[in-house]
Structure formats: C-alpha cells, structure tokens
C-alpha cells in the first residue's frame, strides 16, 4: 500500500472492512483448529485524512460512541473497559511496535454492522484502523503477517481470542467461504453454492465481549488448555497442541482417554473442541458436493454441542435456532462467541423468503419490533471480499 493521503493535496482515503459470519467451527480457532467463516456484505468504513503528527482522532457517525483521540506510540494507555476506542488503540499500538514511529490521521467511522452481535464489528474496527495507518504511512505487509499481527493486537482489549476474525476480514473472497487453518495460517477459499442462502438473525441479546462474557470466554480458553495438557500427559504426547493430537489419534480414542482423565466439565469442553473440528471437515466436504441438508445437519449438531458441552448459548439463541429450523432452515446455530448475538441459518434460495417471513412473525413481532427495523435484525448475508482501501474523489 502506498503513502497517499497527505493533507497537502487534500486527499481523503477510505477503508472498507467487512464483518464476518462463521458458518461452523466455533470456539476452536484459539485451539489452533480450522474454522469455516465468510466475510459479509455489511461492514464499516473508515474515512480519513492524514495529519502531520502522531495523533489519531476518530469520530463515529453513531452518536452513542464518543470521540477518541490519542497519540500513536508503542505503549498506548487503555480507555475504560468495553470502550470502543480500545479497538482503535489496539491497532495503533501493534503497528507502532512493529513499524513505529508513525503518523496519525483524522477519521470518521460509519458502520452497517450491528454492535455486539457476534459479527465481528470489533475486529472490523481493528482491521479498518490498521489499514488506515498502513495506507497513511506507506507501510508494506504480507497478508498473513498482517492477519497474525492484528489477531495478537486485539488481545490488547483483554480477550484471549483466536485469529478467525482478522483473517476473515482481511482475506474474504466474493462468493466463497474460507477454510482457515491456524497451524500454520492457511486460507482456502471454498465456493458457496449459488443456490445457498446464509441468513443472519439477531437474538436481540447483546453479546458484548466485555465484563462477564469476557471472563467466560477467557475461562473457556483456559479450560481447553487444561483438558489438552491432561490428555496429552496421559497419552505421553510430548507436544501438547490440538492439531498434533488430532493428527496422531482418532477422535473416538481421544474422547475415551478424555473420559478417564478429565472431570465432567473438562471432558465436555474437550468433546466440543474435537467434535466441532470434525464437523468443520464434514462441512467442507458437504459444501464441495453442494449438500445443503448434510451441511445443515452439522450446524444443528454444532449448536447442540455449543449449548450442552460448551455452555455458550442462551435461551433466546436456542429459541431463535428452533424458530429457524421450524421455518424450514436446513441448519441453524449461534455464530461467534455466543452469550447472545446472532444465529446463522442455511436455507435454499427457493425457501428463503418464506423462512424470513416466518422468523419475523414468530420471533420478532411478539417482541414488539417494527417492520422498518426488520433489515437491521434479519437479513441475507452474501459472501464478500475482504477489506480494501480506496481513494475518495471529492
């Protein structure tokens, strides 16, 4: 990317960063195991003009978010927990550590992504700001280097997340899902069959990953590590990571060993991780042979596992999944971290309108939503390209 937005020539530049919907492979990216998300046709835009100093100042078009202003440096102090500006600071600190000192900019942010909905609005912000800094300073990054750097960068906010979101937002491909492996990071685009429709529905329960939800998220990361260490020790495996374990042993053997070596809670967490990884493999095969029903069945099994074994669903998400299946979806499950947020459903194009109407009638109308808000909470997501930078002509 080139240095391009000098205030001297008055050039304004825009970064467009999509959100993402994960089709399957939930809560396994931080265990190094492959996932299958898509970048979607909703996202955020960062429109910026460079400045002569290191100050970044951002305003959001959404008035709920107050302006953010700070100087780029290798140690940027955090704002209050849960504050949106921390995602802006996260990108700034990481890039300064990698390539500083750097020049800042004035930016305006506009988003079409619902906040705290499990659609990666936070990672879209990290990626959007990072690409703005990169463009403003004429930096060069290999795509995978940047995906890894920004996954690490976002941990600044206190969540021990994996790398799915940043990789998807940067690497999205129009019409494709991405099979993303993390050990090493490899993105394999898989064509989504033309007749498949991906429906996103908000449970209307915010899934803010700050406070209690963050503690639960980080606790799951730790529980997975503990389960892995115990099973690897029992098997005499020297390298305790999930990828190696799955290469050397069948899931059924690992689950048997886990049953003997782990308490009930850790065994259930372990079982979710292993069976979800197998479901990703099955889902890729189903997508390749255009098997909508087979793919849908795996989504339903994923939801059961997330609800029973991983305990990251909630009553509204469960109800919305049931509503979607009753309305004709081939499969439905929570998407993203859970604890609220959205359900992703898969349906054939011919059944899609009927599904949308029935979900609206059964889930949203009883909750008092007005028709004009419908497309905010219930929509078809198109698999889309990743983030990009473009110059704005006045």
Least spacing, CB of residue 119 vs ligand NG1, in Å: 7
Give the number of other CB atoms < 10 A from CB of residue 308.
Answer: 12
Least spacing, CB of residue 69 vs ligand NG1, in Å: 24
Contact 244, 32 (CB under 8 A): no
Q: Rank residues 34 and 104 by Cβ distance to ligand NG1 and give the closer one.
A: 34
Q: Which residue is nearest to ligand NG1 (CB)?
A: 161
| Interaction site with ligand NG1 (CB under 6 A) | 22, 26-27, 29-30, 118, 120, 123, 154, 159, 161-162, 164-165, 209, 336-337
User: Among all residues, which ones are annotated catalytic?
Assistant: 165
Q: Rank residues 32 and 118 by Cβ distance to ligand NG1 and give the closer one.
A: 118
Least spacing, CB of residue 345 vs ligand NG1, in Å: 17
Q: Rank residues 187 and 352 by Cβ distance to ligand NG1 and give the closer one.
A: 187
Q: Rank residues 58 and 151 by Cβ distance to ligand NG1 and give the closer one.
A: 151
Residue with tokens 């994996």: 162
Q: What is the CA radius of gyration of the chain?
A: 21
Q: How far apart are the first and last CA of the chain?
A: 21
Query: Environment class of residue 272 by beta-carbon count within 10 Å: exposed (0-12), middle (13-18) or buried (19+)?
Result: buried
Least spacing, CB of residue 113 vs ligand NG1, in Å: 10
Least spacing, CB of residue 211 vs ligand NG1, in Å: 13
**Phi, psi (deg, nearest 5) at residue 334:** -65, 155
Least spacing, CB of residue 84 vs ligand NG1, in Å: 14
Query: Environment class of residue 333 by beta-carbon count within 10 Å: exposed (0-12), middle (13-18) or buried (19+)?
Result: buried
Least spacing, CB of residue 199 vs ligand NG1, in Å: 17
Q: Rank residues 161 and 386 by Cβ distance to ligand NG1 and give the closer one.
A: 161
C-alpha angle 5/173/24, rounded to 5°?
Answer: 125
Q: Rank residues 29 and 223 by Cβ distance to ligand NG1 and give the closer one.
A: 29
C-alpha pair distances (Å), 206 with each of 18, 72, 317: 20, 31, 11
Least spacing, CB of residue 131 vs ligand NG1, in Å: 17
User: CB neighbours of 59 closer than 8 A, spacing ≥ 6?
Assistant: 67, 68, 107, 108, 109
Q: Rank residues 23 and 355 by Cβ distance to ligand NG1 and give the closer one.
A: 23
User: CB neighbours of 26 closer than 8 A, spacing ≥ 6?
Assistant: 35, 276, 302, 306, 310, 312, 333, 334, 335, 336, 338
Q: Rank residues 116 and 190 by Cβ distance to ligand NG1 and give the closer one.
A: 116
């Amino acid at each position: 990317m080139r240095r391009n937005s000098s205030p001297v020539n008055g050039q304004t530049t825009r970064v467009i960063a999509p959100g993402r919907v994960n089709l399957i492979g939930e809560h396994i990216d931080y265990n190094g195991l492959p996932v299958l998300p898509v970048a979607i046709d909703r996202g955020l835009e960062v429109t910026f003009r460079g400045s002569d100093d290191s100050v970044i100042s951002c305003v959001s078009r959404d008035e709920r978010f107050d302006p953010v202003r700070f100087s780029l440096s290798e140690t940027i102090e955090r704002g209050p927990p849960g504050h949106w500006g921390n995602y802006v600071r996260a990108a700034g600190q990481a890039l300064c550590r990698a390539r500083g000192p750097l020049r800042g900019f004035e930016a305006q942010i506009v988003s079409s992504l619902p906040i705290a909905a499990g659609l990666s609005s936070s990672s879209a912000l990290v990626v959007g700001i990072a690409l703005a800094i990169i463009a403003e300073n004429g930096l060069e990054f290999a795509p995978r280097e940047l995906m890894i750097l920004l996954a690490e960068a976002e941990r600044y906010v206190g969540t021990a997340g994996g790398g799915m979101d940043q990789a998807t937002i940067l690497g999205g491909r129009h019409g494709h899902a991405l099979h993303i492996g993390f050990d090493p990071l490899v993105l394999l685009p898989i064509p989504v069959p033309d007749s498949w429709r991906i429906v996103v529905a908000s449970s209307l329960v915010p899934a803010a990953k700050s406070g209690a939800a963050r503690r639960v998220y980080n606790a799951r990361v730790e529980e997975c590590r503990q389960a892995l260490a115990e099973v690897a020790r029992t098997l005499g495996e020297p390298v305790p990571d999930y990828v190696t374990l799955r290469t050397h042993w069948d899931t059924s053997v690992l689950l048997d060993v886990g049953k003997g070596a782990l308490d009930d809670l850790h065994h259930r967490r372990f079982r979710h991780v292993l069976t979800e990884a197998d479901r990703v493999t099955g889902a890729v095969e189903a997508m390749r042979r255009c098997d909508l029903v087979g793919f849908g069945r795996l989504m339903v099994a994923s939801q059961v596992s997330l609800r029973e074994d991983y305990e990251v669903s909630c009553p509204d998400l469960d109800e919305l999944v049931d509503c979607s299946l009753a309305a004709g979806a081939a499969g439905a499950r929570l998407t993203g971290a859970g604890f609220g947020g959205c359900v992703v459903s898969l349906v054939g194009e011919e059944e899609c309108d009927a599904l949308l109407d029935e979900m609206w009638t059964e889930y949203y109308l009883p909750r008092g939503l007005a028709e004009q808000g419908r497309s905010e909470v219930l929509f078809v997501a198109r698999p889309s390209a990743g983030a990009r930078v473009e110059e704005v002509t006045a």
